[in-house]
Amino acid sequence: MKEPRKKLGCRVEIVDMLHSPARTRAVGELLIGQRGTVADVLRGGTLALVELDADWADLPGGVRRWPVQWDDLLICTIESGPDAPGSDYRLGLSGSGRDAIQHAVSTDTKNSLCGEEVYPLHFCGWSISFTPTTKRACAICVQVVREQATPDR
């Protein structure tokens, strides 16, 4: 993770609960799928303090800010330009919640490389790049991206 403090103010969605602190994981089921903003960076940059958008009544214990590990978040960055292989493709999702799979989608279509019907991340549209290295990436999409990144010999 490069320059965690640069992610202050980024829009995020909590998509997993594997690496976050125990206090957060204890209410993980309620937090997954929630959206919010990175309000602070904790523990030397290893955790994001996420301020959730939800109504007070829907927040676990009425607590709005939760420490979440970066790997448990989908981050809507506003950085420009490709910084990783596969970032020519946008991120499309199939399924929902913690079972959502991340697919690669070409700029001019709404179909993923594997032919799945996908939808954009609702809080930031089609602006997120596909990351082949994430553990939720669709295996077929990753393979197609890698084949295209490797020129024929």
| Site residues (vs Zn ion, CB under 5 A) | 103, 112, 114, 116, 138, 140-141
Residue nearest to Zn ion (CB): 138
User: How would you classify residue 19: left for phi > 0, otherwise alpha for psi between -120 and 50, otherwise beta?
Assistant: alpha
Q: How far is the CB of 104 from Zn ion (least distance, A)?
A: 7
Q: How far is the CB of 84 from Zn ion (least distance, A)?
A: 17
Residue closer to Zn ion (CB basis): 46 or 94: 94
Residue closer to Zn ion (CB basis): 15 or 141: 141
Angle at 111 (CA atoms; ends 109, 114), nearest 5 degrees? 130
Of 43, 42, 35, 41, the C-alpha closest to 64 is 35
Residues in the chain: 153
Q: How far is the CB of 77 from Zn ion (least distance, A)?
A: 22
